[in-house]
Amino acid sequence: MTPFQRDMLIREFGRKLKLPYPMGLAEMLEESLEIYRRNFPVLFGLALVPALIGTVLGTLANIWQTVPPGKGYEPLVITAIVVTYFLLIIVSFIGYGAQIWAAGQAIMGKPVSFGEAWMFVLKRSGALLLTMLIAFLPSIAGLALCCAGVLFTVIVFFGVLEQVILLEGLAYFRAITRHVQLVYPNWEWWRVLGFYLVSYLIIMVVQMLIGWGGMMFFLGAEIWREVFPLSTRIAFLVIGQLWQQLSNALVMPYWSVFLTLVYFDLRARREAFDMQVLFERVFPETNALGK
């Protein structure tokens, strides 16, 4: 059997048995769209919650910036803006984590539940946020290596770290070590980086096409700030922020599915995870004994 025939066989059986088999970029993009389509209500609903919270927080941040200078409120305003954006980042990480957990269940052929996804990620939110913060510290070392160094360190320490934390139950240094072991060896990080950049470019283009209307409201509020009353400007900011967040909620679940597929792809290539899953399904008693 040639390598090409073997790969075709793996793909055919993997697709039929819903195994996390190794994929190429085009197949992964297509499979992500199919998984998103099949689970759209749950995935979009999971993304909608942080989008609505983000609308409130983003609007508050924009309102803080409308406070006129020279009134002595600058330290208070700066603090409020920093806290608001910090909360926005936390909400984004947790919301993205809920989508990752749901995507992982869908990829493994398990039922996906809105409430279960939120309950799971909220229980793991402390470990998730602290682990991401720890991983950020070595990632900033990439700044010393310019643009290429930043890309390298972000991929090696962050690429699919949330997937490791939520789908394997690891946290802190164990999760970071596990992530590096999956992504770094044998130049695998080049492949992850390429997949990451291509998918990010697609997501950003689609998001810009959908969310351009929201940007118009932001620009309108800025251009006509001396003409419109404050209430109208705030209304423009709210509409623009809501539009942007809804467009984000529409496209980001697709990216969470794609990167979760990348995670399973790494495991299938490095650990034959697809064969392990197949073995456990054929002989479930071995899995029960292992537990």
Residue 72 DSSP code: S
Question: What is the model's pLDDT at position 50?
Answer: 87
Residues 6+ positions from 17 with CB-CB distance below 8 Å: 278, 281
Tokens of residue 250, six digits: 């529409």
Burial grade of 2 (CB within 10 A; 0-12, 13-18, 19 or more):
exposed
Per-residue pLDDT of the chain (291 residues; tens, 9 = 90+): 455 555 666 666 566 556 676 778 888 898 899 999 999 999 999 998 888 888 787 777 766 666 555 566 667 767 777 787 888 888 888 989 999 999 999 888 888 889 899 999 999 999 999 998 888 887 777 666 666 667 778 888 888 899 999 998 898 999 999 999 888 887 778 888 889 999 999 988 888 888 776 666 666 655 656 566 666 667 777 777 777 788 888 889 999 999 999 999 888 888 776 666 666 666 565 554 444
Count CB-CB contacts under 10 A for residue 158.
18
CA–CA separation, 37 vs 198, rounded Å?
A: 20
Burial grade of 117 (CB within 10 A; 0-12, 13-18, 19 or more):
buried
CA–CA separation, 288 vs 277, rounded Å?
A: 13
Do residues 96 and 162 make contact, with C-beta atoms less than 8 angstroms apart?
yes
Question: What is the model's pLDDT at position 150?
Answer: 74
Q: Which helix (H) or strand (E) holds 233?
A: helix 230-271
Q: So where are the chain's domains?
A: 26-290
CA–CA separation, 236 vs 218, rounded Å?
A: 7
CA–CA separation, 199 vs 193, rounded Å?
A: 10
Rg from Cα positions in the chain: 22
Question: What is the model's pLDDT at position 261?
Answer: 92
